[in-house]
Amino acid sequence: MVTSSRVRIAVLNILIFIVAGMKVGYAQVPVTTWHYDNEHSGANLNETILTPQNVNNTSFGKLFTQPVDDAVIGQALYLPHVTIPKLGVHNVVYVATMNDSVYAFDADSAAGKNNKPLWQTSFLSKGVTPVPISLQKCGGTTQWSQVGIVSTPVIDPASGTLFVVAKTYEQHTSYVHRLHALDVATGREKAGSPIVITASYLFAGVNNVFADMMQVNRPALLLANGYLYIAFGSNGCRGGQEQGWVLSYSASTLALQGAWDDEPSSSGSAVWQRGGGLSADSAGNVYGATADGPFTAGTNFGESVFKLSQVGSTLQLDDWFTPYNEADLNSHDQDMSEPVLVLPDQSGPNPHLAAAVGKEGTIYLLNRDNIGHFCSTCTQGDTQIVQELPAFAPETGALIYWNNMIYTSANSSPIMALPLANGALGNIPVAQSKKSSSGHSPVISSNGTSSGVLWQLNGQTLTAYDATSLATLYASGQDQGGRDLLPPLPHFANILVANGKVYIGTNNSLVVFGLL
C-alpha cells in the first residue's frame, strides 16, 4: 500500500511538472504601452502562435468584431488572466474612444456572454460631451467628428491601473482635460482620480499657461520610473494658441511633477508624433519630437528632437537636436512627425543611440549622450550627429527595430529593412517589400529572433509580411466572400498583436484577427 501511494505521488509530481512546463511554454505576456516597450521598438518578441507559416489567407482571418461608440484612435492594450468581478478570469483587451469611453473586452471571444464588454466606463454626463470638431477645428486634416480620448492609454500592471487622458466640453463654455486612473478589473476610478490637468511654464519672466481649447493629447501616454508623461499639441493644424507641452505626474498620487513648454511665448511645434508615445531609455530620460513651428536655438524648438529628465518635481530639458534646414522644413510643413526610437546599446564609439525621422523622410541617427543641438554653419547635412540618411523614407510610419534592423514604411514605397551594425545604419536594404500604400505605423511579432511577421495597414487592408524577407504572407480582402474586409479606419490607426491575435481599432469597432 505504501509503495502504491509513493507511485501515485511520483506520477502526480510528473504530471504537475509537465503542466507547469506547458504553462511556461505558452505564457501570455501583457502589452501595457504603445509599441510594446518604452523604447518603442514596435516589436513583440513573445508571439509563439502566429508565424510566417500559418499567417495566410487559408488559415488566418477575421474572427470577430466588438462594436464601440466612436472611433478608436489609440492602440489597444492587453492583460492576461484578469479576474473580473462576477465574470471570472479573462484575457482582456482595452480600448478607448473619441466618445470618451473606455472598454474592456474578452480578448479571445465574442461568443455567449462575451458578446458585450466586460465593463465600459464613460466620462460623459449631463452637460459634458466630447469636443465637437466644429469647435476643435482642423477636422479637414484628421476627419474626426469630435475629440474625446485620442491617445493610447498606459497600464501599470503592478497596481492594476489603466491611465487615460480624456478631453471634454462642459456646460457649453469650457474645455477640460482630465487624467483618469481606472481599476483594470472594474473600470472604476481609483482613489484621487480623476484630476483636472492644469499647468504653467515660467520662461524669461513670462508665465505661459496651458490652454485647453487648442491642446490635444495625441501621443500615447508613457509610464517610466513611477512617473506618467503626457504630451500635447494641436489637432492637426496650427491655430495660433497651441504649444507643444510635456507634463509629468506621479503615478501613485497623480500630483503634477513638472511641465515643459517647447514654444514659450509663441505657438506651433505640437508634440503629436503620429499618435506614437514619448520614449524613455533605461535611465528614465524622456525623448520626443516636435512639429513645424518657430525655432530659436535653446528657446523655441520647432522641428526638433528633445531629451528631458526628471529631477524631483521638475521636468527639465537636458539636450536637443534641430536639423540644419529647419527653416525650409517649417515653410513646407515637414514636421518631425514620428516618435523617437531608442535603440539597444551598440558596439563602436557611440553605444547609446536613438533614431528620429520626419515627414521629409530624413533618418537621423543620434547619440543620446550628445544629441547635437543645431549646426548654424551646415549647408548640406548635419555633420554634428552620428549619421544622416537624407530624404530616405518620406511620410514613413514610426520606425521599428527588430533583429539588428530598422524598418521604414514610407508612403507609396516599399517597406524596407535597414541593417544596424556597430552603431551605423546601412542605406542599402537587406530586404524590401513590394510597393505599399502605408500611412500607418507597422509592428512586428516574433518568437524572439525567429518567426517574425511584420504587420501593416495599407489603406483599408491589413497586410502581413515575413519580417526577414518582407515577402507578402497575407492581405485582408483577398479571401472569398469578403470575410476579412475591414470597416473604415481612423486617421493613423494602430495595430496590436498579442497571444495569437491581431487587434485593430476602427471608426466604430474593435476588429480581431487570428487563426481560423
Query: d(Cα 41, Cα 109) in Å, to the nearest integer?
Result: 28
Beta carbons within 8 Å of 80's beta carbon, 6+ residues apart: 28, 29, 30, 91, 92, 499
DSSP for 84-122 reads ETTTEEEEEEEEE-TTSEEEEEESS--SGGGGS-SEEEE
pTM of the model: 0.94
Query: d(Cα 304, Cα 315) in Å, to the nearest integer?
Result: 18
β-bridge pairing 43-44 and 443-447: parallel
Average pLDDT of the residues in 450-458: 97
Kindly report the backbone phi and psi dihedral angles of residue 348, in degrees, each rounded to the nearest multiple of 5, phi listed first. Answer: 100, -175
Query: d(Cα 40, Cα 49) in Å, to the nearest integer?
Result: 22
Sign of the Cα torsion 9, 14, 19, 23 reads positive
The whole-number pLDDT of residue 436 equals 85
DSSP for 173-223 reads TEEEEEEEEEETTT-PBPTT--EE---EEEETTEEEE--TTT-B--SPPEE
Mean pLDDT of the chain: 93
DSSP for 241-252 reads S-B-EEEEEETT
Per-residue burial over 153-178, b = 16 or more CB atoms within 10 Å of its CB, e = otherwise: bbbbeeebbbbbbbbbbeeeeebbbb
pLDDT at position 13 over 90: no
Q: What's the CA angle centered on 310, arms 308 and 313, to 5 degrees?
A: 130
Q: Residue 479 in contact with residue 461, Cβ under 8 Å?
A: no
Query: What are the percentages of helix, strand and coil residues in the chain, rounded to 5?
Result: 10, 40, 50
Average pLDDT of the residues in 45-60: 97
Query: d(Cα 496, Cα 248) in Å, to the nearest integer?
Result: 26
pLDDT at position 97 over 60: yes
Query: d(Cα 415, Cα 432) in Å, to the nearest integer?
Result: 5
Query: d(Cα 333, Cα 236) in Å, to the nearest integer?
Result: 11
Percent of residues, the chain, with pLDDT higher than 70: 94
The whole-number pLDDT of residue 493 equals 96
Average pLDDT of the residues in 465-477: 96
pLDDT at position 20 over 60: no
The whole-number pLDDT of residue 235 equals 74
DSSP for 253-275 reads T--EEEEEESSTTS-B----GGG
Query: d(Cα 299, Cα 321) in Å, to the nearest integer?
Result: 12
Query: How many residues in the chain?
Result: 516
The whole-number pLDDT of residue 240 equals 62
CA 183 to chain centre: 21
Task: Name which of 100, 109, 246 is nearest 178 in CA terms.
Answer: 100
The whole-number pLDDT of residue 140 equals 84
Task: Name which of 295, 177, 305, 298 is nearest 230 in CA terms.
Answer: 177
pLDDT at position 251 over 90: yes
Average pLDDT of the residues in 112-138: 96
Cα 339 to Cα 2, 35, 260, 285, 322, distances in angstroms: 66, 11, 18, 14, 15
DSSP 8-state class, residue 338: S
The whole-number pLDDT of residue 27 equals 66
pLDDT tier for residue 391 given thresholds of 50, 70 and 90: very high
pLDDT (tens digit per residue) in 286-300? 999 999 999 999 999
**78 versus 3: which is more confidently predicted?**
78
pLDDT at position 85 over 90: yes
pLDDT at position 7 over 50: no
